[in-house]
């Protein structure tokens, strides 16, 4: 696929601080690209340079084949933006909100189609002030689409939402992908990136530290899958699997954790426990995830309570 966005040696300096430090990456046309990192990593600074809001200290940005320095107006017309703290006018209805923001663009799309896309037909005449947080975010995504953009920037679109509202927003983002939009998703939620992203780029302290699909990152930087035997005699269970060459550990609560290299070993472990008549309450299988990848790369944990700049 062609590159919708090309970033080369991008830099942003504030005094002695390099907020973005010589980074390069591509975003392919039609993909959901997750820009992942903790608070202060440089995510929002990078995105705002691409969105023409901030001026880079150095490097080049090409959007839809155009140089940002030469074709700013063209690029503004072809992108849509949901900022991290989107707000509309309290006393405008959902439909009025979209019509208002649409008036700023030459190219426009059908407002009622947008309302249907974000699943808000039954709320189109509701005042913005009366909407829940999740519904307000859906309105924000619709606003980002009023000019029928080729690229949609969603900056932390589910921060502060409850799990149900977050799932609803994810459904809308999947809908954007199915319509062929390129989605640049800035997030600090690992699960969000795992569920939605075709490609993940991890930024930390202004530097790109890893890029790839979710599975590629897990394969390169994750550790082994783990079998957790719950409610067992940990000492007997450990002795049962020892002949398999597997090292196990227990926190002393009747659970036993066993790292395994491949899926076939799961059956071997269960067979070994059965042969030694080891009783247990249940078995959990935990595969490596992006949280573990980030921890292995940085030595830090990226929790859901952190924001993202």
- In the numeric block, the tokens 């202004």 are attached to 206
The CATH classification number of 224-287 equals: 3.30.70.100
Sign of CA pseudo-dihedral 206, 207, 211, 217: negative
Q: What H or E segment, with its residue span, contains residue 104?
A: none
**E-strand stretches of 15-138:** 17-28, 32-36, 58-63, 66-67, 79-82
Sign of CA dihedral 130, 131, 133, 137: negative
| Range of weakest confidence among 89-103, 124-138, 258-272 | 258-272
What does the alpha-carbon distance between residue 244 and residue 173 come to, in Å, rounded to a whole number? 45
Q: Are 37 and 202 in contact (CB under 8 A)?
A: yes
Q: Within 10 Å of residue 6's Cβ, how many Cβ atoms? A: 17
Looking at domain 3-220, its CATH architecture is: 3-Layer(aba) Sandwich (3.40)
- The predicted pLDDT at position 108 comes to 84
Residue 90 and residue 82: Cα distance in Å, rounded? 17
pLDDT per position as a tens digit, 198-240: 999 999 999 999 999 999 998 888 877 889 999 999 999 999 9
3-220 and 224-287: same fold?
no
**Could you state, in order of their start, the residue ranges of all structural domains in the chain?**
3-220, 224-287
- 47: closest CA among 67, 28, 61? 61
**pLDDT at residue 247 above 90?**
no
């Amino acid at each position: 696929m062609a590159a919708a966005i090309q970033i080369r040696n991008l830099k942003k300096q504030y005094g002695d601080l390099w907020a973005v430090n010589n980074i390069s990456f591509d975003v392919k046309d039609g993909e959901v690209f997750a820009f992942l990192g903790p608070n202060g990593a440089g995510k929002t600074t990078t995105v705002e340079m691409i969105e023409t809001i901030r001026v880079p200290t150095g490097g080049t940005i090409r959007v839809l084949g155009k140089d940002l320095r030469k074709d700013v107006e063209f690029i503004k017309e072809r992108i849509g933006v949901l900022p991290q703290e989107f707000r509309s006018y309290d006393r405008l209805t959902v439909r009025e909100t979209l019509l208002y923001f649409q008036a700023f663009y030459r190219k426009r799309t059908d407002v009622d189609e947008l309302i249907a896309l974000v699943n808000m037909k039954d709320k189109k005449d509701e005042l913005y002030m009366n909407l829940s947080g999740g519904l307000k975010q859906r309105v924000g995504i619709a606003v980002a689409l009023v000019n029928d953009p080729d690229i949609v920037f969603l900056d932390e679109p589910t921060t502060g939402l409850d799990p149900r509202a977050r799932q609803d927003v994810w459904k809308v983002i999947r809908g954007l992908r199915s319509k062929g939009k390129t989605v640049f998703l800035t997030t600090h939620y690992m699960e969000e990136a795992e569920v939605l992203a075709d490609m993940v780029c991890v930024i930390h302290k202004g530097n790109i530290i890893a890029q790839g699909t979710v599975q590629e990152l897990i394969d390169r930087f994750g550790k082994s899958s783990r079998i957790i035997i719950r409610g067992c005699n940990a000492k007997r269970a450990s002795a049962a699997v020892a002949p398999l060459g597997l090292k196990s550990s227990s926190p002393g609560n009747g659970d036993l954790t066993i790292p395994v290299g491949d899926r076939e070993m799961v059956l071997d472990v269960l067979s070994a426990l059965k042969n030694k008549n080891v009783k247990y309450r249940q078995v959990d299988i935990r595969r490596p995830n992006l949280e573990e990848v980030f921890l292995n790369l940085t030595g830090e944990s990226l929790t859901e309570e952190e924001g993202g700049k």
